[in-house]
């Protein structure tokens, strides 16, 4: 796969985007920034929309899911929608409401695992806190404020091997309640550790501690993302699943022609890692509601919407499992996705992936046009297959869908890895879809 130096710059952009996006709230904020800079206009669900041909817009739900679209020059009922979907959330540890407590002379924070995190990788890392604060503002209203603390203020220390002699043979067994709370401070006899924590957060956010009425806070690794391996073959970074797909799709839409006949859409959802069943998740009506409003000016808008859906394609972009050299027998022999060898089409007979022969072919043809090789993945038949927003969206909208994604290792680890060349290659394929 031929990738130029300037293509690789986009992988560098991805790493910066990831480091600035420790939470879905930050990811959406960053994506809004990219879109606004490219001339997209913000609209809100609660307002009426004045949509024009060629118009470029974006909107959010809960500040953690985002839809962007460019209205095509031809009616959607004639051309359909070209949609790329992905998710903004990643597995992590989240603070409980009454998080602060003291034990054995330490101040600790109660946490819950969000999604299927590889919990062992969260130990012995230098952890920061990020998320959003809900503040009381004038007239009894609330406002939301992003918070991102990149100093290593928390740590989940592993037990020394001398006190856990069999850990290498038996594996690290973690009880989510007992073994995950990070340490924040040595408190001794301090009376009010809760207040100390709140004041710390308030100071970092530059607000009064009494104004904080709610918090959605989570932990992240403070180590910056990097290129790695010989000749910078790899990227080592958190949250590649699935911020890499969000970044690739957004970059492709921004780089593609300003006006096309077809209406192009990005749909990035929160809460994929916990099943998508939320007001802003993949199972919500967010995308359907938005697409329906894009047909509101047609003469028979209901029929226009259905005709448009019947002509549309949804590309569900989520990361794929590259073959691991130390565990290659965990893959089906005929399906060994390799890093830096192009995007992967994911297929599953039980429809945990939405791909079928036709939608897979349509994606393969886009890759061919873009001059990018394409790979195939199917799970070992004796292992349970993961899923994506693909089947959920396909069922929710009745839309033709293909599940694809770039290959990676260490999925759901606090620090994942992928290929430096695959990112610009996927942008190229998405650009083809949007042209």
Binding residues (CB under 5 A) for Zn ion: these are 241-242, 318
Shortest Cβ 245–Zn ion spacing (Å): 8
Give the residue from 115, 113, 109 showing the smallest Cα distance to 97. Answer: 109
When the beta carbons of 268 and 305 are compared against Zn ion, the nearer one is 268
Q: Rounded CA gap, 125 and 122, in Å?
A: 6
- Nearest distance from C-beta of residue 86 to Zn ion, angstroms: 8
Closer by beta carbon to Zn ion, 216 or else 241: 241
SS3 291: helix
**243 vs 291 by CB, closer to Zn ion:** 243
Q: Which residues of 203-238 are buried (b: 16+ CB within 10 A; e: fewer)?
A: eebebeeebbeebbbbbbbbbebebeeeeeebbbbb
- Which of residues 242 and 406 has its CB atom nearest to Zn ion in the complex? 242
Nearest approach, Cβ of residue 91 and Zn ion (Å)? 9
Q: Which is nearer to Zn ion, 56 or 423 (CB)?
A: 423
| CA pair distance 305, 247, nearest whole angstrom | 28
Pick between residue 85 and residue 181 the one whose CB is nearest to Zn ion: 85
Identify the sign of the CA torsion 27, 30, 34, 36.
Answer: positive
Smallest gap from Cβ 420 to Zn ion, in A, equals 20
Instruction: Kindly state the tokens that stand for 52.
Output: 């024009």
Closest approach of Zn ion to the CB of residue 327, in Å? 20
Residue 67 or 86 with smaller CB distance to Zn ion: 86
Minimal distance, residue 230 CB to Zn ion, in Å: 28
User: C-beta of 195: minimal distance to Zn ion in Å?
Assistant: 38
For residues 248 and 418, what is the distance between their CA atoms, to the nearest angstrom? 14
Choose between 244 and 397: whose C-beta lies nearer to Zn ion: 244
Give kind and range of the element (H or E) at residue 216: strand 212-221
Residues 302, 120: contact at Cβ < 8 Å? no
Residue 349 CB contacts under 8 Å (≥ 6 apart), including other chains? none
Distance CA 77, CA 147 (A): 43
Of the two residues 273 and 432, which places its CB atom closer to Zn ion in the complex? 273
- Number of helices (H), then strands (E), belonging to the chain: the values are 11, 20
Buried/exposed 175-189: b ≥16 CB within 10 Å, e otherwise: eeeeebbbbbbebee
To Zn ion, the closest distance from the beta carbon of 24 in angstroms equals: 12
Instruction: State whether the Cα torsion 21-23-24-26 is positive or negative.
Output: negative
CB nearer to Zn ion: pick between 201 and 392: 392
Q: How far is the CB of 241 from Zn ion (least distance, A)?
A: 4
Give the start-end residues of each E strand in 245-396.
263-269, 313-317, 320-321, 344-346, 375-377
Q: How far is the CB of 96 from Zn ion (least distance, A)?
A: 25
Q: Give 3-state DSSP helix, strand, coil % of the chain, rounded to 5.
A: 35, 30, 40
Using alpha carbons only, give the angle 40, 43, 47 rounded to the nearest 5 degrees: 160
| CB 380, CB 331: distance < 8 Å | yes
């Amino acid at each position: 796969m031929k990738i130029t130096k300037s293509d690789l710059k986009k992988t560098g952009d991805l790493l910066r985007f990831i480091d600035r996006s420790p939470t879905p709230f930050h990811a959406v904020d960053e994506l809004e920034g990219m879109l606004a800079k490219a001339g997209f206009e913000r609209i809100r669900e609660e307002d009426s929309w004045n949509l024009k041909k060629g118009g470029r817009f974006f909107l959010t739900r809960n500040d953690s899911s985002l839809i962007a679209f460019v209205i095509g020059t031809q009616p959607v009922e004639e051309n359909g929608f070209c949609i790329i979907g992905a998710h903004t959330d990643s597995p992590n540890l989240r603070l409980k409401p009454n998080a602060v407590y003291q034990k054995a002379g330490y101040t600790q924070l109660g946490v819950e695992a969000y999604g299927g995190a590889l919990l062992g990788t969260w130990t012995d890392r230098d952890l920061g806190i990020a998320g959003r604060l809900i503040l009381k503002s004038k007239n009894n209203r609330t406002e939301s404020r992003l918070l991102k603390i990149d100093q290593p203020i928390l740590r989940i220390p592993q037990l020394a091997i001398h006190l856990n002699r069999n850990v290498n043979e038996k594996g690290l067994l973690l009880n989510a309640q007992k073994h995950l709370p990070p340490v924040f401070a040595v408190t001794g006899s301090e009376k009010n550790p809760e207040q100390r924590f709140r004041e710390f957060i308030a100071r970092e956010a530059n607000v009064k501690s009494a104004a904080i009425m709610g918090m959605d806070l989570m932990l992240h690794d403070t180590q910056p993302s990097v290129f790695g391996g010989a000749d910078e073959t790899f990227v080592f970074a958190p949250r590649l699943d699935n911020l890499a797909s969000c970044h690739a799709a957004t970059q492709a839409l921004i780089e593609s022609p300003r006006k096309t006949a077809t209406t192009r859409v990005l749909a990035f959802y929160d809460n994929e890692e916990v099943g998508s069943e939320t007001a802003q998740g993949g199972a919500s009506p967010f995308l359907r509601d938005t697409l329906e409003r894009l047909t509101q000016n047609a003469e028979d808008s209901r029929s226009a919407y259905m005709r448009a859906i019947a002509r549309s394609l949804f590309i569900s972009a989520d990361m794929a499992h590259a073959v691991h050299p130390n565990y290659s027998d965990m893959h089906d022999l005929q399906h060994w996705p390799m890093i830096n060898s192009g995007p992967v089409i994911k297929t599953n007979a039980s429809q945990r992936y939405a791909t079928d022969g036709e939608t897979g072919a349509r994606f393969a043809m886009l890759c061919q046009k873009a001059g990018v090789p394409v790979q195939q993945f199917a799970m070992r038949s004796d292992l349970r297959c993961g899923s994506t927003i693909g089947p959920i969206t396909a069922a929710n909208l009745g839309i033709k869908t293909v599940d694809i994604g770039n290959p990676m290792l260490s999925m759901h680890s606090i620090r994942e890895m992928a290929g430096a060349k695959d990112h610009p290659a996927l942008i190229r394929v998405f650009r083809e879809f949007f042209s």
